[in-house]
Amino acid sequence: MHAPPQSPIALSFEDARHLVEEHAAKLHPRGKELTPLLGSAGLILAEPMFADRDFPPFPRAARDGYALRAADLQHLPATLAVIGEIRAGGPADSGITVEDGQAASIMTGAAAPPGADAVVMVEHTSRRGDQVEVMKRVLAGDNIVPVGSEARRGDRLLSPGMRLDHAALAVAASVGRPHLLVYSKPRVAVLATGDEIVDISAQPGLNQIRNSNSYSLAAQIQGAGGEPVLLPIAPDEPARLRELISDGLEADLLLISGGVSMGKYDLVEQVLADFNAELFFTAVKIQPGRPTVFGQVLCGAGISAREVAPVPSAPKYFFGLPGNPVSTMVTFELFARPMVEALAGMQPKKLIFLHVKLKSEIKVKGGLKRFLPAILSGEFEQAEVELAGWQGSGDIAATARANCYIVIPPDRDCIPAGEWVPVLVR
Ligand code: AMP
Ligand code: MG
């Protein structure tokens, strides 16, 4: 028994993306866990992190040179008496106080002595015995980082929802945290559908295709902070499809690949109707990836009364991603990623396209926003981008050669070489 499919809801790319972002904003991560600092790169921080002391904790010399009083450098070269040496990690109190006409040799990372208000770089000095000649003027404050100027004890340095990258890990290390509280990874179910799709362990017949989407999606899920859960391949047959969708709805998010186009055996929407799924959109005006489906299955008495399909234990979002491998990859990046990231506890972030100079002309049919696999090359400030020369949304090899997507607005059909084009970096 099938409910009739809802009439199609086709949105512009921007509207579809905003709608996903609105739903993502309602999601919460499933829990928190303690994890060692080493190995936590890429995880999402679940606690605020505060400065346990002032940063820097002492007035830090930022250069190797001489600590002195800037006022002594009115006339250059200035000759000062060297009264001692201060090294990084030396005694907390060096016993040195710089007076008028004096300087102390100092190393980067050492505490500037009382009396000194600047450090002149050793390159601008010439040492003769216990005297130093200074050839260059410095101003008061130069090359000394004042106590607490980077952060005061108790200041918040990191916030929950930040992805831990190398800089964030440096902060955690600098406040002495060998373990961090991070969000638990959400479980994201992946359901590949299609009678022609076979497991990679099987020898495919001439009319069969190996399942690649489950693996590209698994990698994308991991990259977004999720834990992929691969379900068995679903045939284009309602009963088994329903069973597997039901299993998938037990995860935190369900991604279905294939079966969402207009073909006679594209049954995903029809079967989702058995779950009384609410569909937010069933198409996006993009290429590749037009027949993307986004929706939610609610739990509750009203639905279970239908007794058509088992109801998940909590409301669950799902995506029906078009099965063409490149469409699957692109639509994950554009729409599924923000949902996985939100479930992973990440603060929402907007999708940003960078602009890069186009290397060779592009001609397309207008009407849809396009995300075409492309190669970003060049060096330093001379980046350029060109299409990867793909043969359509099934061309996995061209997409594997690509490292970005060129974004082509719907109102353009020819873009000349040399124009700056928006690029989604992969
Ligand atoms: P569909 O969206 O089901 O109409 O599938 C569109 C195209 O993508 C067809 O050529 C399928 O064979 C192919 N396809 C669907 N699912 C997968 C998959 N899991 N792995 C590789 N190709 C797939
Ligand atoms: Mg199919």
Rounded to the nearest angstrom, the distance between the alpha carbon of 333 and the centre of ligand 1 is 18
- DSSP string for residues in 105-141: EE-TTSBPPTT--EEEEGGGEEEETTEEEE-S---TT
Query: What pLDDT does residue 366 have?
Result: 85
Cβ–Cβ under 8 Å, residues 60 and 113: no
Nearest ligand by distance to the CA of 393: 1
Check pocket membership of 192 for ligand 1, CB cut-off 6 A.
Answer: yes
Query: What pLDDT does residue 304 have?
Result: 44
Q: Which residue from 2, 23, 12 is spatially nearest to 268, judged by alpha carbons?
A: 2
The number of the ligand 1 atom at minimal distance from the alpha carbon of 322 is: 2
Rounded to the nearest angstrom, the distance between the alpha carbon of 195 and the centre of ligand 1 is 9
Closest-CA residue, ligand 1 atom 10, reads: 324
CA distances from 172 to 40, 52, 166, 370, 423 (A): 11, 10, 10, 41, 33
Check pocket membership of 208 for ligand 1, CB cut-off 6 A.
Answer: no
SS3 state of residue 351: coil
User: Each residue's pLDDT tens digit in the chain (426 positions)?
Assistant: 455 556 789 999 999 999 999 999 999 999 999 999 999 999 999 999 999 999 999 999 999 999 999 999 999 999 999 999 999 999 988 999 999 999 999 999 999 999 999 999 999 999 999 999 999 999 999 999 999 999 999 999 999 999 999 999 999 999 999 999 999 999 999 999 999 999 999 999 999 999 999 999 999 999 999 999 999 999 999 999 999 999 999 999 999 999 999 888 899 999 999 999 999 999 999 999 999 999 999 875 334 434 566 777 778 999 999 999 999 999 999 999 999 999 999 999 999 999 999 999 999 998 999 999 999 999 999 999 999 988 888 899 999 999 999 999 999 999 999 999 999 999
Q: Which residue from 41, 345, 56, 50 is spatially nearest to 168, judged by alpha carbons?
A: 41
Rounded to the nearest angstrom, the distance between the alpha carbon of 281 and the centre of ligand 1 is 20
Q: How many C-alpha atoms does 157 have within 13 Å on its Cβ side?
A: 25
Nearest ligand by distance to the CA of 256: 1
Cβ–Cβ under 8 Å, residues 106 and 65: yes
Check pocket membership of 392 for ligand 1, CB cut-off 6 A.
Answer: no
Rounded to the nearest angstrom, the distance between the alpha carbon of 397 and the centre of ligand 1 is 15
Cα(191)–Cα(231) distance, integer angstroms: 5
Check pocket membership of 338 for ligand 1, CB cut-off 6 A.
Answer: no
CB atoms within 10 A of CB 173: 12
Check pocket membership of 257 for ligand 1, CB cut-off 6 A.
Answer: yes
Strand partners, 121: 65
Check pocket membership of 216 for ligand 1, CB cut-off 6 A.
Answer: no
Rounded to the nearest angstrom, the distance between the alpha carbon of 194 and the centre of ligand 2 is 4
Rounded to the nearest angstrom, the distance between the alpha carbon of 370 and the centre of ligand 2 is 22
Give Cα 365 distance to the centre of its chain.
32
Burial class (CB in 10 A: 0-12, 13-18, 19+), 305: exposed
Segment (H or E) for 99: none
Nearest ligand by distance to the CA of 265: 2
Burial class (CB in 10 A: 0-12, 13-18, 19+), 180: buried
Contacts of 298 (CB under 8 A, 6+ apart): 276, 278, 311, 315
User: What is the per-residue pLDDT across 253-289, written as a single tens digit (0 to 9) for each?
Assistant: 999 999 999 888 899 999 999 999 999 999 999 999 9
Cα(6)–Cα(70) distance, integer angstroms: 77
The number of the ligand 1 atom at minimal distance from the alpha carbon of 236 is: 3
Give Cα 7 distance to the centre of its chain.
35
Cα(129)–Cα(383) distance, integer angstroms: 53
Q: What is the largest CA-CA distance in the chain?
A: 97
Check pocket membership of 209 for ligand 1, CB cut-off 6 A.
Answer: yes
User: What is the per-residue pLDDT across 212-259, written as a single tens digit (0 to 9) for each?
Assistant: 999 999 999 999 999 999 999 999 999 999 999 999 999 999 999 999
Preceding amide of 204 cis, omega within 30: no
Nearest ligand by distance to the CA of 212: 1
Check pocket membership of 114 for ligand 1, CB cut-off 6 A.
Answer: no
Rounded to the nearest angstrom, the distance between the alpha carbon of 31 and the centre of ligand 1 is 35
Cα(385)–Cα(357) distance, integer angstroms: 6
Burial class (CB in 10 A: 0-12, 13-18, 19+), 26: exposed
Tell me the chain's radius of gyration from C-alpha atoms.
Answer: 30
Rounded to the nearest angstrom, the distance between the alpha carbon of 204 and the centre of ligand 2 is 16
Rounded to the nearest angstrom, the distance between the alpha carbon of 199 and the centre of ligand 2 is 15
Segment (H or E) for 65: strand 65-68
The number of the ligand 1 atom at minimal distance from the alpha carbon of 323 is: 2
